[in-house]
Amino acid sequence: MTKPRLFSGMQPSADSLQIGNYIGALMQWRGMQDDYDAFFTVVDLHAITVPQDPAQLREKTRRTAAQYIAAGVEPSRSTLYVQSQVPAHAELAWILSTITGFGEAGRMTQFKDKSQRYGADQASVGLFTYPVLMAADILLFQAEAVPVGDDQKQHVELTRNLAERFNSRFGETFVVPTPVIQGETARIYDLQDPTSKMSKSAESQAGVLYLLDDINATAKKVMRAVTDSEGVVRYDRAEKPGVSNLLTIYAALTGREISSIEDEYAGRGYGDFKKGLRDVIVAEFEPVRARALELLEDPAELDRVLSANAERASEAAEQTLATVYERVGLLRRG
């Protein structure tokens, strides 16, 4: 029996992924490989929607792929490749952009956030059409499931709308995908500013836990995380965003209920709680970091694996693209 398709990806926009990427996406990816024909992409074409240094971008792309593998994505079971090595992504994005409303694209909150960060004059058209490229990524593979963090939900909604619009205008072509989002753990916040989403390319790195950071630096960041003056380990997102965020991370990494962690630390204060969390994070990160760094010692082998996987991805993508071109009425080369 053929397995349903799954698509997901991350931008190579930093030297290292952060714990939100790990909990919100990678942990899910790892667990879904058995049940799905999965495509995991390093979305470098998305990363260039904001300025990137060319040499560093190549390095970040390899580093991102190495972290996927180190976190448990198996390139012999799932298709792990680099987006720009499969031209069909950009080709389908163009077609989809012709059926996307300007106002519809303008409502995407990520564009609003990022264009504010870079300033209206610096924000590129590519940043504006980012969600259309993401829709193309997903629809190319006829993916049924799209495991993402909560921040990407709006983009998957747009993808669904575009798939339905194309299907009704040109005939059944695309599978309409469903976002797979893990409730409470779907959004991890910055440790120094626990009302903002943690981001790998954040301006200040003080509140970001990077997978590839020196493990002592990570431990220090956990111990310095912002809490509150109540001194009680208790989940309350509105009143206690810092402690609630730490509880979310603890629960996600251990698979425990938040209430059981609250019980364990009842009457013990934040120092003990942070030490407990630090140990959990260090134990989780250490093997992933070691494996990723080992893979990066042989970039030629990593590049070879990625190229072979891109071949596999191209075959699947070209099939969808050929149907789309046919449906839209483009005259094909004889």
- Sort residue 155 into left (φ over 0), alpha (ψ -120 to 50) or beta: alpha
* 108 part of the interface to ligand AQP, by CB under 6 A: no
- State residue 124 phi and psi, 5-degree precision: -90, 165
Tokens representing 52 are 């990137």
Q: Judged by CB under 6 A, how many residues of this single chain contact ligand AQP?
A: 22
With CA atoms as reference, report the closest residue to 152 among 46, 280, 76. Answer: 46
Answer for which of 63, 187, 278, 289 binds ligand AQP (CB under 6 A) is: 187
Mark the segment that binds ligand AQP (CB under 6 A) among 53-61, 137-145, 185-193, 277-285: 185-193
* 241 part of the interface to ligand AQP, by CB under 6 A: no
Cβ of residue 268: shortest distance to ligand AQP, in angstroms?
27
* 212 part of the interface to ligand AQP, by CB under 6 A: no
* 313 part of the interface to ligand AQP, by CB under 6 A: no
CB contact at 8 A, 211 and 289: yes
* 49 part of the interface to ligand AQP, by CB under 6 A: no
Mark the segment that binds ligand AQP (CB under 6 A) among 23-31, 121-129, 265-273, 280-288: 23-31
- 197 noted as active-site residue: yes
With CA atoms as reference, report the closest residue to 299 among 21, 69, 53. Answer: 69
* Distance between CA atoms of residues 178 and 7, nearest Å: 10
- 114 noted as active-site residue: yes
* 200 part of the interface to ligand AQP, by CB under 6 A: yes
Instruction: Provide the H-helix boundaries in 258-298.
Output: 258-264, 269-296
* 198 part of the interface to ligand AQP, by CB under 6 A: yes
CB closer to ligand AQP, 49 vs 100: 49
* Distance between CA atoms of residues 93 and 231, nearest Å: 51
* Distance between CA atoms of residues 305 and 326, nearest Å: 32
Answer for which of 5, 6, 7, 13 binds ligand AQP (CB under 6 A) is: 13
* 199 part of the interface to ligand AQP, by CB under 6 A: yes
Could you give the strand order of the β-sheet that contains 145-147, starting from the edge strand earlier in sequence?
79-82, 37-42, 5-10, 145-147, 178-180
Mark the segment that binds ligand AQP (CB under 6 A) among 54-62, 195-203, 223-231, 269-277: 195-203
With CA atoms as reference, report the closest residue to 65 among 56, 76, 75. Answer: 75
CA 8-22-284 angle, to 5 degrees, is: 145
* 62 part of the interface to ligand AQP, by CB under 6 A: no
* Distance between CA atoms of residues 212 and 90, nearest Å: 30
Binding map of ligand AQP across residues 119-148, x = CB under 6 A, - = no contact: -----------------------------x
What residue ranges bind ligand AQP (CB under 6 A)?
10-11, 13, 18, 20-21, 23-25, 43, 148-149, 151-152, 186-188, 197-201
**Which residues are part of the catalytic machinery?**
114, 197, 200
